[in-house]
Chains A and B, each alone.
Chain A
Amino acid sequence: AQSVTQLGSHVSVSEGALVLLRCNYSSSVPPYLFWYVQYPNQGLQLLLKYTSAATLVKGINGFEAEFKKSETSFHLTKPSAHMSDAAEYFCAVRLSNFGNEKLTFGTGTRLTIIP
């Protein structure tokens, strides 16, 4: 079984400030972890994913995330927020054992950028 918890349904940061979106997971086997972004009235776009290689994962648009097994966390960060980062962000987990294909999503974090 697997689950994802995203702390903070709404996060506001000033333009140029650090972005930190939190994600904690639980998984019965080693997980694959994903961050997706959703802009208004659009589908989900992959930002980055953890696949058991490097624990620090770099993605698109300057985002990165670090897998910390001891903390069961996969927080998303960006050093300097841009106005274009305003969107909803979803963390997702998938079990790595064969036959488990579904993504289990967190409830999402809506990021607002303050000019």
Chain B
Amino acid sequence: GAGVSQSPSNKVTEKGKDVELRCDPISGHTALYWYRQSLGQGLEFLIYFQGNSAPDKSGLPSDRFSAERTGGSVSTLTIQRTQQEDSAVYLCASSLGTGGSGTQYFGPGTRLLVL
């Protein structure tokens, strides 16, 4: 079956612009996660959703970052007023549910470059 998909695969933007990154989880997966992978910080957790609610937003680095999930499926990560330090690969993952030892399945990522 189809895996986690993310769009766009690459995004180049100018400092100060807003960007939206999209994630389509595996069908039937109720949990969805956003991570960021950067040279300086490695792989960092940003936020996760169970259904449409986000019980843990502790990894969002600033109030310029927000995410939503509608219909328990697609999620959008929005970065407002982008800064050069936001340049990174943004990875989305999904899992069947929360709790237990469930596997998180990752998408290919969106590579964001802020000029």
Contacts and interface: CB of A to CB of B under 8 A. Distances in A.
Interface of A: 32, 34, 36, 41-46, 49, 51-52, 90, 92, 94, 96, 98-99, 101-108
Contact of B48 (A41, A43, A96, A102): A102
A90 B32 CA distance: 20
B22 to A, nearest CB: 15
B106 A102 contact: no
Contact of A105 (B42, B55, B101, B109): B42
Interface string B18-58: 00000000000001010100000011110010100001101
Contact of A43 (B33, B42, B58, B107): B107
A4 to B, nearest CB: 10
A103 B45 contact: yes
Contacts of A96: 101
Given A32-B101, A44-B106, A46-B103, A101 B31 contact: yes
A102 B104 CA distance: 10
Given A32-B101, A51-B101, A101-B98, A43 B45 contact: no
B106 A98 contact: no
B109 A101 contact: no
Contact of A99 (B43, B55, B93, B106): B55
Contacts of B107: 43
Contact of B42 (A41, A51, A107): A107
A41 B99 CA distance: 30
Contacts of B48: 101-102
Nearest to B108: A43
Contacts of A108: 42-43
The CB with the most chain B CB atoms within 10 A, among A34, A43, A46, A96, is that of A43
Contacts of A102: 33, 45, 48, 56, 58-59
